[in-house]
Amino acid sequence: MGGPDDSEKMDVLIMFSSYGLLLKSVENGFLVPDDWDVLHVSASQWFLETEKMDEKYEFPAEVRPGIYRLEEDYLICESGEVFKKLEYGIAKVIEKAHSRKMLRTDEKAEGLFKIPASCKVYYILHGNNLEQYLHLNAPVEEAYVIISNAPGESKKDYFAFRMAAESPRLFPDDLENEDESAGRKLIPLGKLKGLEKGLNLKAKELIVERRDLNIVEFNYRYPYNWEPADYCIEIKTNEELIGGMMYVYANVFGKSIPIKRVVIDDIKQEELIYISKSWQVYHSWLLKKATKMDKRVYVGGELRLKGKGPVRIIFNFREINKLVVPKGKITKESSDYAEVELEFEGEESIYIEFDYHE
């Protein structure tokens, strides 16, 4: 889908996580909503004029029997009708006194406004199927919408999303034209309606590589008895995804049900998502050796596992060296980090040795 057609004079809305920038065609006398900020107008001359509007009444008015509350000089009925006592009797208030902002310009022009708006991202994970949704909210009926996002923004500013029963689908090509301009990801969504009602869009659906893991963050410094591992899900994709809320589903009792709602960081092709503590795997540790020599610490001890399932043991130590885990496979190793993985069922006893810089 291409850009907005100039002949249609379509509004263009650039949506950020907590506000929007609206490009709109305006004429002299355009009423600016109270919560909009005028940033720029392309006319040769323009200014904002504040106009005070007097209160409007319907007179005479019939005040029916009922329950009313008194607020300052007004009687407010449960139905929402508002009345006021005037010099000539009781009148129904049609419009309270207020001021309004009016744009004065010497020609038809394009205005740039900062408006209250929000763009939130959430995901549904069913097995290996990942669906990305957008929740869009802005006080405009229709606009050509572009999403603007920078790394980390979505996680800083999120909320619990309303789940729409039916969400309009985007054309697949719409989201393939992402542009990373000045460090920001720009995603054109095209012409959209219903933004003022809180619009939910199904933006992407992709198959990911998923692994369910029990994570043991290794800490040798104290012995402990049977602590639960961390249940995590590792996701690998062929693209980067904006962070947000994720609803994780699992097949339980023959049904696919949500088991956890988590806030995730931006996914940079691979992400480990913490879900909860695990009932599947417990671990305990018995320290047998911790010797210091020439600023290095030599560690040895027994890690015991009980339960079943895949386990990843993570080592975070400075200049880790000579790591020995007989019943596991070292899958990642650098100067200060290592991962060891194994699959087991029942009980396992693993003697671990390594040294590191203190």
Give a yes or no: residue 35 inside a domain.
no
pTM over 0.85: no
Q: Are residues 201 and 68 in the same domain?
A: no
Is 24 within 8 Å of 111 (Cβ atoms)?
Answer: yes
**3-state SS, residue 196:** helix
Backbone angles phi, psi at 121, to 5 degrees: -115, 135
Two structure tokens written together for 65: 């029997």
For the chain, the C-alpha Rg in angstroms (whole number) is: 30
- Which pairing describes strands 142-149 and 12-15: parallel, antiparallel, or unpaired? parallel
Give a yes or no: residue 49 inside a domain.
no
Task: Give the CATH number of the domain where residue 322 resides.
Answer: 2.60.40
The range of the structural domain enclosing residue 60 comes to 55-96
Give a yes or no: residue 91 inside a domain.
yes
Digit-coded pLDDT (tens) for 249-281:
988 888 888 988 988 888 888 889 899 999 999
Is 100 within 8 Å of 15 (Cβ atoms)?
Answer: no
Strand partners, 249: 126, 258
Q: Are residues 193 and 333 in the same domain?
A: no
pLDDT at 75: 79
Is the pLDDT score of 66 beyond 90?
no
Separation of alpha carbons 171 and 61, rounded Å: 55
> Which residues are CB-contacts of 22 (< 8 A; sequence separation ≥ 6)?
11, 12, 13, 14, 36, 112, 113, 114, 115, 138, 140, 143
Separation of alpha carbons 207 and 124, rounded Å: 12
Give a yes or no: residue 249 inside a domain.
no
Give a yes or no: residue 43 inside a domain.
no
Type of residue numbered 294: D
For residue 155, the surrounding DSSP H or E stretch is: helix 153-156
Q: Are residues 66 and 140 in the same domain?
A: no
pLDDT at 348: 93
Q: Are residues 289 and 352 in the same domain?
A: yes
Give the count of domains, the chain: 3
Instruction: Give residue 152's pLDDT band: very low, low, confident or very high (50, 70, 90).
Output: low
Q: Are residues 188 and 284 in the same domain?
A: no
Q: Are residues 170 and 80 in the same domain?
A: no
Separation of alpha carbons 88 and 355, rounded Å: 93
Which of 1-10, 33-42, 165-174 shows the lowest mean pLDDT across its residues? 165-174
pLDDT at 166: 29
pLDDT at 7: 39
Q: Are residues 12 and 152 in the same domain?
A: yes
pLDDT at 270: 85
Sign (positive or negative) of CA dihedral 33, 36, 39, 42? negative
pLDDT at 3: 57
Higher per-residue confidence, 97 vs 217: 217
Separation of alpha carbons 119 and 149, rounded Å: 9
Q: Are residues 175 and 67 in the same domain?
A: no
Q: What is the DSSP string of 236-258?
A: EEEEEE--EEEEEEEEETTEEEE
Is the pLDDT score of 160 beyond 50?
no
pLDDT at 61: 76
Digit-coded pLDDT (tens) for 294-317:
899 999 999 999 999 999 999 999
Give the residue-averaged pLDDT of 119-143. Answer: 92
Q: Are residues 202 and 222 in the same domain?
A: no
Instruction: Give residue 150's pLDDT band: very low, low, confident or very high (50, 70, 90).
Output: confident
Backbone angles phi, psi at 353, to 5 degrees: -135, 145
Give a yes or no: residue 126 inside a domain.
no
pLDDT at 58: 76
Tokens 């995804």 correspond to what residue?
A: 241
Burial of 309 (0-12, 13-18, 19+ CB in 10 A): middle
Instruction: Give residue 140's pLDDT band: very low, low, confident or very high (50, 70, 90).
Output: very high
Digit-coded pLDDT (tens) for 320-352:
999 999 888 999 999 999 999 999 999 999 999
CB atoms within 10 A of CB 284: 15
Separation of alpha carbons 39 and 302, rounded Å: 65
Separation of alpha carbons 188 and 164, rounded Å: 22
Q: Are residues 288 and 346 in the same domain?
A: yes
Instruction: Give residue 176's pLDDT band: very low, low, confident or very high (50, 70, 90).
Output: very low
Is the pLDDT score of 175 beyond 70?
no
Higher per-residue confidence, 273 vs 171: 273
Give a yes or no: residue 85 inside a domain.
yes
Mean pLDDT of the chain: 83
Which of 154, 187, 206 finishes a domain?
A: 206
Backbone angles phi, psi at 195, to 5 degrees: -65, -35
Q: Are residues 174 and 201 in the same domain?
A: yes
Digit-coded pLDDT (tens) for 99-118:
788 889 989 999 999 999 99
Q: Are residues 83 and 162 in the same domain?
A: no
Give a yes or no: residue 285 inside a domain.
yes
Instruction: Give residue 49's pLDDT band: very low, low, confident or very high (50, 70, 90).
Output: confident
Is the pLDDT score of 1 beyond 70?
no
Kindly state the DSSP code that residue 197 receives in the 8-state scheme.
Answer: G
